[in-house]
């Protein structure tokens, strides 16, 4: 068993007996055995898992090095901040998927095996709905309860982990004089933890961009109201909504036109969320939630998929890629407002997720590829005060 501190190998037998590296004596968090084989405690998710061994007991050797590499992977070697949920998905990618149908939790999670068939519809490309599904190694709750917490007990909190609790981050009031100013743009995301992750990675700072979560969790209420007031001061505001591939997220896009958000203000709102087709193409884990039903201009196969209750989380995408996607989406959304006078100003322009396969634009008659507008050079040239 390899030690993450000194890279020495300790024979498994000794590691399991002592839980320590034989060279540097650092403790191991895991000893290569399924942790819960000998533990009677139920899966914290409850449900069926109370009556059978957790799914991760199917011969997955969890080691410190495996977990360490997941931390390194999700944060690109310590360069990016990340959420626990993102770490979970990274960890899942490094575990072998169990047999099809092996879903251990009440709110099941299934892994998709996209066939990556070209759609040939409107040139948009992309994947198709998965033909085969398999259960993931473990639920998020199992991961945090048994593995993540154990890692913290032995090795401490990973560097770069985002504190997603807005009460500790953003509950102080905004300076009154800040209300005189505004933001160039606004990015709305589904969840507080993704919003906190974007802020931790300086996305707002690089893009003069307010970041809010649609669930109301980020930032805290005191700051949120002030930020909405500041947004009101920009007469040319561009709003982009980046969200999970889920029926509820697509339904939530429409609520951005409610009085709680932007009402009938002349604000350009672009939906740059993850579409089912994009999720299929990127081999993301799929979670099955409630079937809420959604009416959308999405293609039929994607709509059917959503209406079966399948969802796919943005957290399954590494921070490096998610930041780039958000930037591309915001840039394209901003460009569209200058070059086009869409009749959809009063609605939400469904632009599609800005990642390969290309984002695509939905029309009443179908969908077509989103063509990135012109030369991006203007956005890339260094300004004189390049340390500023």
Partner 1 sequence: MPAGDTEIRHALADSVNARLLPSYKRIGIALSGGLDSTIIASLCRNELDSNQLMAFTLDFGPPWSDEVATASAIARHLDIPLYIVDASPANILRNIHPATAAMVSPYGDAVCVPWYLLGKAAAEAGCDALFSGEGGDQVFGGWANKPMVTELALTGATVDAVYAKTFHRFLDDLSGLLHGGFEVSSASFDVHQWIRDCLPKSATNTLLATLRHLNFATKGGGTISPRFTELVEIHGIDAHAPFFDTQLVAEALALPDSSILDGSTDKAILRRLVSDMTSPEIAALPKRGMGVPSTSWAIENHPLGHKVRHQLSRRNKHRDPRIRQDSVDVLLSGIVDAPDAYRRRRIGERIWTLFQWEVFREVHSLSE
Smallest gap from residue 332 Cβ to partner 1 (A) = 13
Identity of the residue, 21 or 187, whose beta carbon is nearer to partner 1 in the bound complex = 187
Smaller CB distance to partner 1: residue 1 or 270? 270
Nearer to partner 1, 300 or 386 (CB): 386
> SS3 for 109?
strand
Instruction: Tell me whether residue 105 or residue 213 sits nearer to partner 1 (CB atom).
Output: 213
Residues with Cβ within 8 Å of 70's Cβ and at least 6 positions away in sequence, in order, are: 87, 90, 91, 94
Greatest pairwise CA separation for the chain in angstroms: 70
Minimum Å gap between C-beta 61 and partner 1 is 30
Whole-angstrom distance, CA of residue 205 vs CA of residue 197:
13
Question: Could you tell me the smallest distance in angstroms from the CB atom of residue 81 to partner 1?
Answer: 8
Rounded to an integer, what distance in angstroms lies between the CA atom of residue 385 and that of residue 388? 5
How far is the C-alpha of 68 from the C-alpha of 70, rounded, in Å? Answer: 5
Question: Which tokens hold the place of 182?
Answer: 């505004």
Nearer to partner 1, 286 or 317 (CB): 317
Query: Smallest distance from the beta carbon of 327 to partner 1, in angstroms?
Result: 4
Contact positions toward partner 1, by CB under 8 A? 76-77, 79-81, 169-170, 172-175, 177-178, 180-184, 199, 201-206, 208-211, 219, 223, 226-227, 230, 233-237, 319-320, 323-324, 327-328, 375-388
Closest by CA to 190, choosing from 295, 316, 324, is 316
d(CA 191, CA 218): 8
109-112/133-134 β-pairing: antiparallel
- Distance of closest approach, residue 55 Cβ to partner 1, in angstroms: 34
Beta-bridge partners for 369: 360
Comparing CB distances to partner 1, the nearer of 181 and 364 is 181
Please count the other Cβ atoms lying within 10 Å of the Cβ belonging to residue 7: 11
Query: CB of 77: closest distance to partner 1 in angstroms?
Result: 7
């Amino acid at each position: 068993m390899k030690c993450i501190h000194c890279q020495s190998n300790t024979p498994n037998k000794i590691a399991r007996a002592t839980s320590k590296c034989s060279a540097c004596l650092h403790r191991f968090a895991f000893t290569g055995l399924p942790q819960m084989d000998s533990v009677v405690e139920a899966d914290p998710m409850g449900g069926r898992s109370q009556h059978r061994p957790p799914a991760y007991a199917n011969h997955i050797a969890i080691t410190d090095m495996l977990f360490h590499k997941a931390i390194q992977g999700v944060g690109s070697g310590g360069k990016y901040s990340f959420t626990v949920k993102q770490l979970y998905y990274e960890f899942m990618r490094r575990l072998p998927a169990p047999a099809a149908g092996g879903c251990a939790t009440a709110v099941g999670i299934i892994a998709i095996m996209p066939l990556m068939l070209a759609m040939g519809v409107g040139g948009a490309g992309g994947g198709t709905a998965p033909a085969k599904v398999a259960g993931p190694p473990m639920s998020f709750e199992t991961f945090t309860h048994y593995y993540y917490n154990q890692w913290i007990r032995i090795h401490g909190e990973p560097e770069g982990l985002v504190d997603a609790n807005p009460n500790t981050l953003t509950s102080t009031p905004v300076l009154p004089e800040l209300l005189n100013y505004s933001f160039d743009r606004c990015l709305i995301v589904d969840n507080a933890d993704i919003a906190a992750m974007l802020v931790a990675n300086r996305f707002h700072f690089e893009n003069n961009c307010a970041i809010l979560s649609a669930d109301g969790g980020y930032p805290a209420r005191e700051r949120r109201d002030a930020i909405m007031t500041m947004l009101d001061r920009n007469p040319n505001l561009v709003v982009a909504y980046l969200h999970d591939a889920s029926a509820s997220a697509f339904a939530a896009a429409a609520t951005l036109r409610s009085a709680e958000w932007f009402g009938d203000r002349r604000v350009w709102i672009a939906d740059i969320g993850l579409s089912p087709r994009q999720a299929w193409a990127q081999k993301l884990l799929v979670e099955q939630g409630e079937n809420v039903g959604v009416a959308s201009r999405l293609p039929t196969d994607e709509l059917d998929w959503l209406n079966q209750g399948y969802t796919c989380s943005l957290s399954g995408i590494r921070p490096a890629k998610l930041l780039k996607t958000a930037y591309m989406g915001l840039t394209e959304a901003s460009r569209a407002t200058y070059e086009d006078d869409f009749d959809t100003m009063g609605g939400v322009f469904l632009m599609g997720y800005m990642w390969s396969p290309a984002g695509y634009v939905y029309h009443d008659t179908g969908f077509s590829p989103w063509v990135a507008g012109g030369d991006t050079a203007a956005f890339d040239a260094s300004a004189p005060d390049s340390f500023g």
